[in-house]
Amino acid sequence: MKNFLSLRLAAIAAAAFTLVFAAGCSTAKVQDTWTAPDVTQLNFKKILVISATQDGSARRIAEDAVAAASPGVEVVPSYRVIPDVSDLKNLDKVSETINAAHFDGVVVMRMLSSRDKVTVTQDPGFAGYPVGYRTFRGYYGRYALGGYGYRYGYGRDFGATTTVTTDRITQIETNIYEMPGGKLVWSATTESTSPDSTQQLVDDVVAALKKELIKDKLIPATKS
């Protein structure tokens, strides 16, 4: 019988993690987290990090980012022990690697969704502003010299513009499992907006996750 981790990886490995981005300034926000009720701190000594994607470049970038953000703990990117990216779909091989190398923790990252968000904004310019206010003579002669104080006489649009902005919204799920046994101990979902590159995406996501783990006192704070 396959263990819990293998069953979980079956669903994860089926999801693509190929990253496509629009230009822009990325922000990664943690949307929600879950911690096992009996877990108060994560104390792993040797962690395997898996980016569940068939894109070899994105896989290496994501796994290296997690390793770089984890000083004091041995973190092994899966591409070093499972070099063939197609083997990530082989649940028996993944499980054998985990057991043979005596990993006591496994981090799995996968993309949940990547979509475009279109925002339309309008700058009305002088649209809807009283005609008499638009020039000094118009305002002063009509209102300041004894005219009524109400704004009236709304005119046609002047200089109105419409701006259409497209952002790439990317959601990533990160799960942490305790080995042996494959128990899920922590899970989080992050949302990123228009990262400039795969590197920026993973760096922002990993930084946001690390901040959340420190805030929840699951890992100790580290000096930058």
Indicate the CATH number of 4-114+168-215 among 3.30.70, 3.30.40, 3.40.390, 3.40.50: 3.40.50
55 vs 160 pLDDT, higher one: 55
Q: Give residue 130's pLDDT band: very low, low, confident or very high (50, 70, 90).
A: low
16 pLDDT more than 60: no
Least confident of 82-91, 131-140, 146-155: 146-155
Q: How far apart are CA 116 and CA 33, in angstroms?
A: 24
**Domain edges within the chain:** 4-114+168-215, 125-159
Greater confidence (163 vs 199) lies with 199
Q: Is the pLDDT score of 152 beyond 80? A: no
Q: For residue range 178-207, what is the model confidence (pLDDT) as tens digits?
A: 988 888 989 998 988 877 788 888 888 988
Report whether pLDDT(33) > 70.
Answer: yes
What is the mean predicted confidence (pLDDT) over 162-166? 78
The answer, yes or no, to whether residue 23 has pLDDT greater than 90, is: no
- Tell me how far apart the alpha carbons of residues 214 and 207 are, in angstroms, rounded to a whole number: 11
Q: Is the pLDDT of residue 75 over 90?
A: yes
Q: What is the pTM of this model?
A: 0.69
- Mean predicted lDDT score pLDDT of the chain: 77
What's the rounded mean pLDDT across residues 17-30?
50
